[in-house]
Amino acid sequence: MTTLTKFCALLATTAMMSGTAAWAEVGSHVLRLGTPLPDGHPISQAAVKFADLVAEKSGGKIEIKVYPGATLGNELQMQSALQGGTQDFAIGTTTTLAGMVPEFSAIDMPYRFRDTAEADAILDGDIGNQLFQKLEPKGLVGLAYMEQGFRHTTNSTRPITKWEDFEGLKIRVQPSAMYIDMFNQLGANAVPMTINEVYTAMETRAIDGHENSLTAIDANKFQEVQKYLSLTGHSYNAVVLLMGKPSHDRLNEEEMAIIREAAAEARDFQRDLTRTQTEGLRAKLADEGMEVNEVSPEEQQRLAERLQPVVDASRDAIGAEWMATFTSALEELR
């Protein structure tokens, strides 16, 4: 055997030993991930992508089973399960986290972000990291920000072209004090309700309509029970890939490195998928029977002005210092 051949053999053996040592640090785990939306929605598709990436990066040692469509409960129930260690991961809106960390409400404030690029920069930067840090004492670990996107309004009664058109409509909102206040301020009767209850409530006319992203409207087939879609764009809605602190603490550094790397890749996948789907959904929903109308920039400005008291009240609840930090970061982007 030549010297070169021996050297190559030694390198190959060293690489194999190094790989074996690395894999030896990763144990076998079967973990559970729940989402509140059907398996066709980008959030649930991202959950599957995340599970596949973790399996690939762990050499098959870490298996994540995905349960879409609120199979493991609604968002609040899943958060509680994460805190208690009976569930490992969940993907849900930042809105529902505001009950335990009020600062999250800043994200959902009406007409806060101009576009998704602004939202990405804020959430992937220092503001997003600070919010994640505030979750850990609550028993939750934030892994990545994904998105529902900008939210619009559907109903079965009339198009919404100005804020006065909300008068008297029963509108489902997320279980959030801010969203309840927003739609009551517009003259609607806000009805807080988890997403898995909404289709039946609209079908039976227990409510007139709801507000949501285009991808959620389509994935839940709400076009089957709603006539009008008004592109109010009243707020931007982020979602978070969460891990329970008990589950986090059971994994070692190598295993968590795999989880975090996969979470970042799944985040990028989910955002791209959401934005690609959203581009074609106005036409798709119209083709399937919805009457879709734009809300003019002038009327959106009137909506924003009408909702200013809600912003002021939320600012007081969140804290002036935090809101100043959030607003300053947003102004620096512009």
The answer to whether the CB of 161 falls within 8 A of the CB of 232 is no
Confidence of residue 21 (pLDDT cuts 50, 70, 90): very low
Examine residue 166 and state whether it is found in any structural domain, yes or no.
yes
Give the pLDDT confidence of 184-231 residue by residue, as tens digits: 999 999 999 988 899 999 999 999 999 999 999 999 999 999 999 999
Say whether pLDDT at 14 is over 80. Answer: no
Is 10 among the domain residues? no
- Read off the tokens for 85: 């260690």
pLDDT, tens digit (0-9, with 9 covering 90-100), for 74-84: 999 999 999 99
Residues 130-187: pLDDT tens digits? Answer: 999 999 999 999 999 999 999 999 999 999 999 999 999 999 999 889 999 999 999 9
Q: What is the pLDDT of residue 141?
A: 98
Work out the mean pLDDT of the chain and round it to a whole number: 92
7 domain-assigned: no
CATH of the domain at 234: 3.40.190.170
Check pLDDT > 60 for residue 15. no
Residue 14 lies in a domain: no
Q: How does residue 7 score in pLDDT terms, banded at 50, 70 and 90? A: very low
Averaged over 54-59, what is the pLDDT? 97
Residue 1 is assigned to a structural domain of this protein = no
Q: Which domain holds residue 256?
A: 28-333
Q: How many domains does the chain have?
A: 1
Residue 59 lies in a domain: yes
pLDDT tens, 222-264?
999 999 999 999 999 999 999 999 999 999 999 999 999 999 9
User: What is the reported pLDDT for 23?
Assistant: 52
- Residue 252 DSSP code: -
Instruction: Report the percentage of the chain scoring pLDDT > 90.
Output: 87
Under a CB-based contact definition with an 8 Å cutoff, are residues 110 and 234 in contact? yes
- pLDDT confidence of 294, banded at 50, 70, 90? very high
18 vs 289, higher pLDDT = 289
172 and 209 in contact (C-beta within 8 Å)?
yes
Asked if residue 63 has pLDDT above 70, the reply is yes
In a domain, 20, yes or no: no
24 confidence band (pLDDT: 50, 70, 90): low
Whether the predicted pLDDT of 306 surpasses 50: yes
What would the 3-class secondary structure string for 181-223 be? HHHHHCCCEEEECCHHHHHHHHHCCCCCEEEECHHHHHHCCHH
Residue 12 lies in a domain: no
Percent over 70 (pLDDT), the chain: 93
* CA 235, chain centre distance (Å): 13
